[in-house]
Amino acid sequence: MLPPPWLVRGARSLWHWQWLQLMGGLGPADDQGNYRRPPAAFGEAIAVPGDAAEPGAHVLIVGRSCPWAHRAWLVWGLRALAGPIELVVVEPDPQAGRWRFAEPFEGCGTLAELYGRCGAPPGARATVPLLYSRHRQEVVVGESARLIELLNRWPSTRSLDLDPPDQRQATAAWRERLQHTVNDGVYRCGFARTQAAYDAAEAALFASLEAAEAQLGEGGAPWLSGPLPSLADVQLFPTLIRLELVYAPLFGVSRRPLWQLPALWAWRSRFHGLPGVADSCWPEAWRRDYFGALFPLHPSGIVPAGPPLATLVGSFPPVPGDAGSQPDSSG
């Protein structure tokens, strides 16, 4: 038997009010309902420290499900920085809404404790990625865009430059566009408070994806800013590798599946094939953490089935003229 209309209306009104309160805690928005990502703590750009080459002197702290941490993990892997920089993976605590260490780190059980010990401003969100100095017992940098630039300059045995001089202008332009319309764009869709806010974010997202498709299309370069992979590719990959697995079903960005953008599909497969990239991909953790932890967007907490990652990085759909060859990423 269906509940009476007055009960449905009342429950719907109450749930909408509660949803707005929960969304306010999940991510702030302006008065038009547009999601606004808070600035990261420890976001200043810095020079490469003098002890950068010393093994174990620095620690890169990441979370498997966080796309912002994923971009730092990618640069760490692509540039073979495991020698000078230790990798520590934190796990989410959905009940407390924070990151925690599997084992105590510098005497801290949670990332919030480490933030506080390192002088983060009161009320600052404890987020990943984070580069930590063991010698100075301080955070080096915690803003992902600045961090990947720093890691690209870090001393390495692999002479791979992800900001090639001849592509620098194009790389910077793509990074700026991707940051706002794609990387943050999927969140602007998922965390939108109004239909108008969602519509604007969704349109900007797919306009940028279609621009990338045109850039990579027939006769184009294999990478976003030119013949060599760059930080622009690093920024795009964490979003696109999660598209079908998380963002399309949870954030409502399913207007065009990626197979309808064949050049981007082929690009994603190429990038996944680069050294160190596959080791940074954890689809089970992505789906568990997004569907299980984002209660305002998915109250049941049920983690739905999704496509195997292998089906998303294969050669289908074929792209005319794309032989699937890999560049020499060793520089």
- Of the candidates 68, 235, 106, the one whose C-alpha atom is nearest the C-alpha of residue 163 is 235
Co-location of 217 and 292 in the same domain: yes
Co-location of 146 and 180 in the same domain: no
Residue where a domain stops, chosen among 131, 153, 175:
153
Task: Determine contact, residues 246/282, Cβ cutoff 8 Å.
Answer: no
The token pair that represents 248 in the structure block = 């399309």
Q: How many CB atoms lie within 10 A of CB 327?
A: 14
Read off the pTM.
Answer: 0.89
Q: How confident is the model at residue 165 (pLDDT cuts 50, 70, 90)?
A: very high
Co-location of 257 and 232 in the same domain: yes
125 lies in some domain = yes
Co-location of 173 and 305 in the same domain: yes
Task: Determine contact, residues 88/102, Cβ cutoff 8 Å.
Answer: no
Q: Is the pLDDT of residue 320 over 60?
A: no
45 lies in some domain = no
Co-location of 261 and 217 in the same domain: yes
Co-location of 215 and 285 in the same domain: yes
Residue 206 sits in a domain whose CATH number is: 1.20.1050.10
User: Which of 1-5, 25-29, 54-58 has the largest mean confidence?
Assistant: 54-58
Co-location of 172 and 111 in the same domain: no
Residue where a domain stops, chosen among 122, 153, 184:
153
Q: How confident is the model at residue 95 (pLDDT cuts 50, 70, 90)?
A: confident
Co-location of 176 and 273 in the same domain: yes
Co-location of 169 and 305 in the same domain: yes
Co-location of 194 and 128 in the same domain: no
Displacement of CA 236 from its chain's centroid (Å): 8
Listed range (21-25, 144-148, 258-262) with the worst mean pLDDT: 21-25
Percent of the chain with pLDDT over 90: 70
> Phi and psi dihedrals of 265, rounded to 5?
-60, -50
Rg, C-alpha atoms of the chain: 21
Residue 117 sits in a domain whose CATH number is: 3.40.30.10
Range of the domain at 126: 58-153
3 lies in some domain = no
Residue where a domain stops, chosen among 90, 118, 153:
153
How many residues make up the chain in this entry? Answer: 331
Listed range (28-32, 68-72, 287-291, 317-321) with the worst mean pLDDT: 317-321
Q: How high is the pLDDT of residue 122?
A: 79
20 lies in some domain = no
37 lies in some domain = no
Q: What value does the mean pLDDT take over residues 260-267? A: 95
Which residue bears the tokens 């759909």? 317
Q: How high is the pLDDT of residue 327?
A: 38
207 lies in some domain = yes
Co-location of 177 and 108 in the same domain: no
Co-location of 200 and 123 in the same domain: no
Q: What value does the mean pLDDT take over residues 77-83? A: 96
12 lies in some domain = no
Number of DSSP helices (H) and strands (E) in the chain, helices first: 11, 6
Number of domains in the chain: 2
Q: How high is the pLDDT of residue 213?
A: 97
236 lies in some domain = yes
Hey, what long-range contacts does 277-282 have (CB within 8 A, 24 or more apart)? 277/74, 277/77, 277/78, 277/237, 279/77, 280/70, 280/73, 280/74, 280/77, 281/241, 281/309, 282/64, 282/65
